[in-house]
Protein backbone atom coordinates (compact mmCIF):
# COMPACT_ATOMS: atom_id res chain seq x y z
CA UNK A 1 0.00 0.00 0.00
CA UNK A 2 2.91 2.32 0.80
CA UNK A 3 4.51 1.58 -2.55
CA UNK A 4 1.19 2.29 -4.25
CA UNK A 5 0.98 5.62 -2.47
CA UNK A 6 4.52 6.63 -3.43
CA UNK A 7 3.98 5.65 -7.07
CA UNK A 8 0.74 7.55 -7.24
CA UNK A 9 2.33 10.60 -5.62
CA UNK A 10 5.10 10.59 -8.18
CA UNK A 11 2.66 10.65 -11.09
CA UNK A 12 1.15 13.91 -9.80
CA UNK A 13 4.41 15.79 -10.46
CA UNK A 14 3.92 16.15 -14.25
CA UNK A 15 0.29 17.11 -13.62
CA UNK A 16 1.39 19.88 -11.29
CA UNK A 17 3.94 21.22 -13.79
CA UNK A 18 1.24 21.28 -16.45
CA UNK A 19 -1.09 23.10 -14.09
CA UNK A 20 1.42 25.89 -13.46
CA UNK A 21 1.78 26.29 -17.23
CA UNK A 22 -1.95 26.61 -17.72
CA UNK A 23 -2.48 28.92 -14.76
CA UNK A 24 0.31 31.15 -15.88
CA UNK A 25 -0.78 30.95 -19.52
CA UNK A 26 -3.93 32.80 -18.53
CA UNK A 27 -1.91 36.02 -18.78
CA UNK A 28 -1.28 35.36 -22.44
CA UNK A 29 -4.81 34.18 -23.19
CA UNK A 30 -6.88 36.89 -21.60
CA UNK A 31 -7.53 39.68 -24.11
CA UNK A 32 -6.30 43.17 -23.22
CA UNK A 33 -3.12 44.38 -21.62
CA UNK A 34 -3.16 44.39 -17.81
CA UNK A 35 -0.83 47.38 -17.86
CA UNK A 36 -3.38 49.37 -19.86
CA UNK A 37 -6.18 48.31 -17.53
CA UNK A 38 -4.27 49.39 -14.44
CA UNK A 39 -2.94 52.63 -15.82
CA UNK A 40 -6.51 53.63 -16.65
CA UNK A 41 -8.19 54.82 -19.85
CA UNK A 42 -6.62 58.28 -19.76
CA UNK A 43 -3.02 57.18 -19.29
CA UNK A 44 -0.33 58.18 -21.69
CA UNK A 45 1.89 55.69 -23.47
CA UNK A 46 4.74 56.52 -21.05
CA UNK A 47 2.54 55.88 -18.03
CA UNK A 48 1.49 52.48 -19.43
CA UNK A 49 5.11 51.60 -20.11
CA UNK A 50 6.00 52.57 -16.55
CA UNK A 51 3.27 50.35 -15.16
CA UNK A 52 4.38 47.53 -17.41
CA UNK A 53 7.93 47.84 -16.15
CA UNK A 54 6.80 48.03 -12.53
CA UNK A 55 4.83 44.79 -12.94
CA UNK A 56 7.67 43.12 -14.81
CA UNK A 57 5.44 42.55 -17.83
CA UNK A 58 8.10 43.78 -20.21
CA UNK A 59 10.38 40.84 -19.52
CA UNK A 60 10.34 37.62 -21.61
CA UNK A 61 7.42 35.30 -20.80
CA UNK A 62 9.75 32.47 -19.76
CA UNK A 63 11.42 34.68 -17.18
CA UNK A 64 8.05 35.84 -15.88
CA UNK A 65 6.91 32.21 -15.61
CA UNK A 66 10.08 31.19 -13.78
CA UNK A 67 9.68 34.04 -11.30
CA UNK A 68 6.08 33.15 -10.72
CA UNK A 69 6.73 29.43 -10.23
CA UNK A 70 9.69 29.90 -7.90
CA UNK A 71 7.65 32.46 -6.01
CA UNK A 72 4.68 30.09 -5.78
CA UNK A 73 6.92 27.34 -4.45
CA UNK A 74 7.96 29.60 -1.59
CA UNK A 75 4.38 30.64 -0.97
CA UNK A 76 4.58 33.98 -2.75
CA UNK A 77 1.90 34.31 -5.41
CA UNK A 78 2.50 37.98 -6.08
CA UNK A 79 0.35 40.90 -5.03
CA UNK A 80 -3.08 42.00 -6.15
CA UNK A 81 -3.03 44.65 -8.84
CA UNK A 82 -5.75 46.61 -7.07
CA UNK A 83 -5.65 46.07 -3.35
CA UNK A 84 -1.89 45.51 -3.21
CA UNK A 85 -2.53 42.71 -0.74
CA UNK A 86 -0.40 39.62 -1.21
CA UNK A 87 -2.38 37.06 -3.19
CA UNK A 88 -1.33 34.34 -0.77
CA UNK A 89 -2.96 36.26 2.09
CA UNK A 90 -6.29 36.63 0.26
CA UNK A 91 -6.28 32.95 -0.62
CA UNK A 92 -5.17 32.05 2.88
CA UNK A 93 -8.24 33.85 4.21
CA UNK A 94 -10.70 32.37 1.71
CA UNK A 95 -9.46 28.82 1.27
CA UNK A 96 -10.15 27.48 4.80
CA UNK A 97 -13.69 28.86 4.60
CA UNK A 98 -14.35 27.21 1.25
CA UNK A 99 -12.74 23.97 2.40
CA UNK A 100 -14.92 23.95 5.49
CA UNK A 101 -17.97 24.61 3.35
CA UNK A 102 -17.13 21.96 0.75
CA UNK A 103 -16.12 19.44 3.41
CA UNK A 104 -19.31 19.93 5.37
CA UNK A 105 -21.32 19.73 2.15
CA UNK A 106 -19.64 16.43 1.29
CA UNK A 107 -20.28 15.09 4.77
CA UNK A 108 -23.95 16.10 4.65
CA UNK A 109 -24.38 14.59 1.20
CA UNK A 110 -22.91 11.28 2.37
CA UNK A 111 -25.04 11.31 5.53
CA UNK A 112 -28.07 11.63 3.28
CA UNK A 113 -26.94 9.37 0.45
CA UNK A 114 -25.59 6.28 2.23
CA UNK A 115 -28.60 5.42 4.43
CA UNK A 116 -31.07 6.39 1.70
CA UNK A 117 -29.31 4.27 -0.90
CA UNK A 118 -29.08 1.24 1.41
CA UNK A 119 -32.76 1.40 2.39
CA UNK A 120 -33.79 2.09 -1.16
CA UNK A 121 -31.82 -0.86 -2.53
CA UNK A 122 -33.01 -3.27 0.16
CA UNK A 123 -36.65 -2.20 -0.22
CA UNK A 124 -36.51 -2.01 -3.99
CA UNK A 125 -39.88 -1.29 -5.59
CA UNK A 126 -41.57 -0.19 -2.35
CA UNK A 127 -42.97 3.31 -1.72
CA UNK A 128 -39.82 4.19 0.20
CA UNK A 129 -37.69 3.41 -2.83
CA UNK A 130 -39.97 5.46 -5.07
CA UNK A 131 -39.89 8.45 -2.73
CA UNK A 132 -36.08 8.26 -2.68
CA UNK A 133 -35.91 8.03 -6.48
CA UNK A 134 -38.21 11.02 -6.98
CA UNK A 135 -36.34 12.92 -4.28
CA UNK A 136 -32.98 12.33 -5.92
CA UNK A 137 -34.32 13.37 -9.32
CA UNK A 138 -35.49 16.62 -7.75
CA UNK A 139 -32.19 17.07 -5.94
CA UNK A 140 -30.30 16.79 -9.22
CA UNK A 141 -32.72 19.01 -11.11
CA UNK A 142 -33.12 21.92 -8.69
CA UNK A 143 -30.50 24.67 -9.12
CA UNK A 144 -28.51 25.32 -5.96
CA UNK A 145 -28.93 29.13 -5.90
CA UNK A 146 -32.72 28.68 -5.94
CA UNK A 147 -32.54 25.95 -3.30
CA UNK A 148 -30.34 28.22 -1.20
CA UNK A 149 -32.87 31.04 -1.33
CA UNK A 150 -35.69 28.64 -0.43
CA UNK A 151 -33.70 27.39 2.57
CA UNK A 152 -33.08 30.95 3.69
CA UNK A 153 -36.79 31.72 3.33
CA UNK A 154 -37.83 28.70 5.36
CA UNK A 155 -35.14 28.27 8.01
CA UNK A 156 -33.94 31.84 8.48
CA UNK A 157 -36.74 34.21 7.65
CA UNK A 158 -39.63 31.83 8.37
CA UNK A 159 -38.57 29.71 11.33
CA UNK A 160 -35.69 31.89 12.45
CA UNK A 161 -33.60 28.83 13.34
CA UNK A 162 -30.44 29.69 11.46
CA UNK A 163 -28.72 32.88 10.31
CA UNK A 164 -29.33 33.78 6.67
CA UNK A 165 -25.86 35.05 5.80
CA UNK A 166 -22.38 35.50 7.16
CA UNK A 167 -19.68 33.28 8.52
CA UNK A 168 -17.89 32.71 11.83
CA UNK A 169 -14.59 30.89 11.97
CA UNK A 170 -14.75 27.53 13.75
CA UNK A 171 -11.91 28.47 16.11
CA UNK A 172 -13.80 31.55 17.24
CA UNK A 173 -17.11 29.91 18.10
CA UNK A 174 -17.83 26.33 17.00
CA UNK A 175 -21.58 26.58 17.66
CA UNK A 176 -21.94 29.78 15.64
CA UNK A 177 -19.77 28.25 12.91
CA UNK A 178 -22.10 25.28 12.70
CA UNK A 179 -25.18 27.52 12.63
CA UNK A 180 -23.72 29.55 9.81
CA UNK A 181 -22.44 26.67 7.73
CA UNK A 182 -25.41 24.29 7.83
CA UNK A 183 -27.59 26.04 5.23
CA UNK A 184 -24.87 26.79 2.69
CA UNK A 185 -23.43 23.28 3.09
CA UNK A 186 -26.85 21.70 2.72
CA UNK A 187 -27.50 23.79 -0.38
CA UNK A 188 -24.17 22.84 -1.85
CA UNK A 189 -24.39 19.17 -0.86
CA UNK A 190 -27.89 18.30 -1.94
CA UNK A 191 -27.17 17.81 -5.64
CA UNK A 192 -24.24 15.58 -4.75
CA UNK A 193 -26.37 13.69 -2.27
CA UNK A 194 -28.94 12.99 -4.96
CA UNK A 195 -26.33 11.83 -7.43
CA UNK A 196 -24.54 9.65 -4.87
CA UNK A 197 -27.83 8.10 -3.76
CA UNK A 198 -28.65 7.02 -7.30
CA UNK A 199 -25.20 5.68 -7.99
CA UNK A 200 -24.93 3.85 -4.69
CA UNK A 201 -28.44 2.40 -4.88
CA UNK A 202 -27.64 0.96 -8.29
CA UNK A 203 -24.34 -0.53 -7.24
CA UNK A 204 -25.79 -1.99 -4.03
CA UNK A 205 -28.53 -3.70 -6.05
CA UNK A 206 -25.86 -5.08 -8.36
CA UNK A 207 -23.67 -6.33 -5.52
CA UNK A 208 -26.61 -7.92 -3.68
CA UNK A 209 -27.02 -10.30 -6.62
CA UNK A 210 -23.40 -11.45 -6.48
CA UNK A 211 -22.57 -15.01 -5.51
CA UNK A 212 -20.28 -13.86 -2.71
CA UNK A 213 -23.18 -12.18 -0.96
CA UNK A 214 -25.00 -15.50 -0.99
CA UNK A 215 -21.81 -17.01 0.48
CA UNK A 216 -21.76 -14.37 3.20
CA UNK A 217 -25.36 -15.19 4.09
CA UNK A 218 -24.65 -18.92 3.91
CA UNK A 219 -21.99 -18.36 6.60
CA UNK A 220 -24.74 -17.18 8.91
CA UNK A 221 -23.40 -13.62 9.13
CA UNK A 222 -25.86 -11.08 10.52
CA UNK A 223 -27.63 -8.90 7.98
CA UNK A 224 -25.83 -5.76 9.15
CA UNK A 225 -22.50 -7.53 8.65
CA UNK A 226 -23.49 -8.75 5.18
CA UNK A 227 -24.60 -5.24 4.16
CA UNK A 228 -22.10 -3.15 6.10
CA UNK A 229 -19.05 -5.21 5.27
CA UNK A 230 -19.53 -7.43 2.24
CA UNK A 231 -21.93 -5.30 0.22
CA UNK A 232 -20.66 -1.83 1.06
CA UNK A 233 -16.99 -2.36 0.41
CA UNK A 234 -17.75 -3.53 -3.11
CA UNK A 235 -20.59 -1.11 -3.77
CA UNK A 236 -18.47 1.87 -2.72
CA UNK A 237 -16.18 1.76 -5.74
CA UNK A 238 -18.57 3.59 -8.10
CA UNK A 239 -19.47 5.95 -5.25
CA UNK A 240 -15.84 6.95 -4.84
CA UNK A 241 -15.65 7.69 -8.57
CA UNK A 242 -18.68 9.93 -8.28
CA UNK A 243 -17.28 11.62 -5.19
CA UNK A 244 -14.04 12.36 -7.01
CA UNK A 245 -15.99 14.15 -9.71
CA UNK A 246 -18.19 15.88 -7.16
CA UNK A 247 -15.27 17.42 -5.30
CA UNK A 248 -14.42 19.51 -8.34
CA UNK A 249 -18.08 20.37 -8.81
CA UNK A 250 -18.26 21.37 -5.13
CA UNK A 251 -15.46 23.89 -5.58
CA UNK A 252 -17.30 25.40 -8.55
CA UNK A 253 -20.64 25.29 -6.77
CA UNK A 254 -19.10 26.95 -3.71
CA UNK A 255 -18.58 30.13 -5.74
CA UNK A 256 -22.33 30.42 -6.28
CA UNK A 257 -23.39 29.37 -2.81
CA UNK A 258 -20.90 31.73 -1.16
CA UNK A 259 -22.54 34.59 -3.05
CA UNK A 260 -26.03 33.59 -1.97
CA UNK A 261 -25.09 33.24 1.70
CA UNK A 262 -22.45 35.94 1.87
CA UNK A 263 -19.73 33.50 2.91
CA UNK A 264 -16.26 35.05 2.55
CA UNK A 265 -14.62 32.09 0.85
CA UNK A 266 -12.36 31.52 -2.10
CA UNK A 267 -15.36 32.00 -4.40
CA UNK A 268 -15.71 35.60 -3.32
CA UNK A 269 -12.01 36.17 -3.88
CA UNK A 270 -12.29 34.60 -7.34
CA UNK A 271 -15.35 36.64 -8.35
CA UNK A 272 -13.76 39.90 -7.26
CA UNK A 273 -10.58 39.06 -9.11
CA UNK A 274 -12.37 38.13 -12.30
CA UNK A 275 -14.59 41.23 -12.37
CA UNK A 276 -11.54 43.49 -11.91
CA UNK A 277 -9.23 41.41 -14.11
CA UNK A 278 -6.87 41.09 -11.18
CA UNK A 279 -4.59 38.59 -12.91
CA UNK A 280 -2.22 37.56 -10.10
CA UNK A 281 -5.21 36.75 -7.92
CA UNK A 282 -6.91 34.77 -10.71
CA UNK A 283 -3.71 32.81 -11.29
CA UNK A 284 -3.36 32.12 -7.60
CA UNK A 285 -6.94 30.97 -7.21
CA UNK A 286 -6.73 28.71 -10.26
CA UNK A 287 -3.49 27.20 -9.01
CA UNK A 288 -4.88 26.53 -5.56
CA UNK A 289 -8.17 25.16 -6.87
CA UNK A 290 -6.35 22.77 -9.18
CA UNK A 291 -4.02 21.72 -6.37
CA UNK A 292 -7.01 20.90 -4.20
CA UNK A 293 -8.55 18.91 -7.06
CA UNK A 294 -5.29 17.02 -7.61
CA UNK A 295 -5.00 16.15 -3.92
CA UNK A 296 -8.63 15.00 -3.86
CA UNK A 297 -8.06 12.79 -6.90
CA UNK A 298 -5.03 11.36 -5.17
CA UNK A 299 -7.23 10.50 -2.21
CA UNK A 300 -9.79 8.92 -4.55
CA UNK A 301 -7.11 6.73 -6.09
CA UNK A 302 -5.91 5.70 -2.66
CA UNK A 303 -9.49 4.80 -1.80
CA UNK A 304 -9.61 2.61 -4.92
CA UNK A 305 -6.50 0.88 -3.74
CA UNK A 306 -8.12 0.20 -0.39
CA UNK A 307 -11.46 -0.94 -1.83
CA UNK A 308 -10.16 -2.99 -4.71
CA UNK A 309 -7.02 -5.00 -3.96
CA UNK A 310 -6.55 -5.73 -7.67
CA UNK A 311 -5.44 -2.17 -8.49
CA UNK A 312 -2.58 -2.25 -5.98
CA UNK A 313 0.81 -2.89 -7.54
CA UNK A 314 2.47 -6.10 -6.49
Binding window for other proteins (CB under 8 A); candidates: 7-15, 48-56, 185-193, 304-312: 304-312
Q: Out of 37, 80, 136, 234, which residue is the one contacting other proteins (CB under 8 A)?
A: 234
Taking CB under 8 A as the rule, does residue 227 contact other proteins? no
Q: How near is the Cβ of 241 to other proteins at its closest, in Å?
A: 16
Interface positions, 57-96, toward other proteins (CB under 8 A): none
Which residue from 141, 136, 138, 102 is spatially nearest to 117, judged by alpha carbons?
136
In order of 86, 169, 203, the CA distances from 206 in angstroms are 52, 43, 5
Which residue from 300, 272, 289, 302 is spatially nearest to 19, judged by alpha carbons?
289
Q: Out of 14, 31, 41, 309, which residue is the one contacting other proteins (CB under 8 A)?
A: 309
Residue 308 backbone phi and psi in degrees, to 5: -120, 100
Which residue from 69, 72, 101, 102 is spatially nearest to 88, judged by alpha carbons?
72
Taking CB under 8 A as the rule, does residue 220 contact other proteins? yes
Binding window for other proteins (CB under 8 A); candidates: 46-54, 105-113, 282-290, 306-314: 306-314
Q: Decide whether 162 or 307 has the Cβ nearer to other proteins.
A: 307
Binding window for other proteins (CB under 8 A); candidates: 13-21, 173-181, 213-221, 243-251: 213-221
Q: Decide whether 105 or 231 has the Cβ nearer to other proteins.
A: 231
Helix (H/G/I), strand (E/B), else coil: 254: helix
Binding window for other proteins (CB under 8 A); candidates: 24-32, 87-95, 246-254, 301-309: 301-309
Q: Decide whether 172 or 211 has the Cβ nearer to other proteins.
A: 211
**C-alpha torsion angle, residues 274, 280, 281, 285 (rounded to 10):** 100
Q: Give strand ranges (E) for the chain.
A: none
Binding window for other proteins (CB under 8 A); candidates: 84-92, 168-176, 227-235, 297-305: 227-235
**C-alpha torsion angle, residues 282, 269, 107, 200 (rounded to 10):** -40
Taking CB under 8 A as the rule, does residue 310 contact other proteins? yes
Q: How many helical (H) and strand (E) elements, i.e. helices and strands, does the chain have? A: 13, 0
Which residue from 277, 240, 280, 257 is spatially nearest to 181, judged by alpha carbons?
257
Taking CB under 8 A as the rule, does residue 198 contact other proteins? no
Taking CB under 8 A as the rule, does residue 130 contact other proteins? no
Q: How near is the Cβ of 145 to other proteins at its closest, in Å?
A: 40
52 and 279 Cβ atoms separated by less than 8 Å:
no
How far is CA 181 from its chain centroid?
15
Q: Decide whether 29 or 218 has the Cβ nearer to other proteins.
A: 218
Q: Please report, as ranges, the residues that interact with other proteins according to CB under 8 A.
A: 210-212, 214-223, 225, 229-230, 233-234, 307-310
Amino acid sequence: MLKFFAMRLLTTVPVLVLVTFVAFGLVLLIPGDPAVTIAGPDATVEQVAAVRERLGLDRPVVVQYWDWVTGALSGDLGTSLFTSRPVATSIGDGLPVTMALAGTALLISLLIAVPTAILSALRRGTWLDRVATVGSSLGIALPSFWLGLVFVLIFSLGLGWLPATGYVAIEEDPAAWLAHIVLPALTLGIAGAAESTRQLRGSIIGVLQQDYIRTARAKGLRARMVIGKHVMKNASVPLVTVLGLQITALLGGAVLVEQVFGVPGLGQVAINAVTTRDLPVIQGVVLVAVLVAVVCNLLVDLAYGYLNPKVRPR
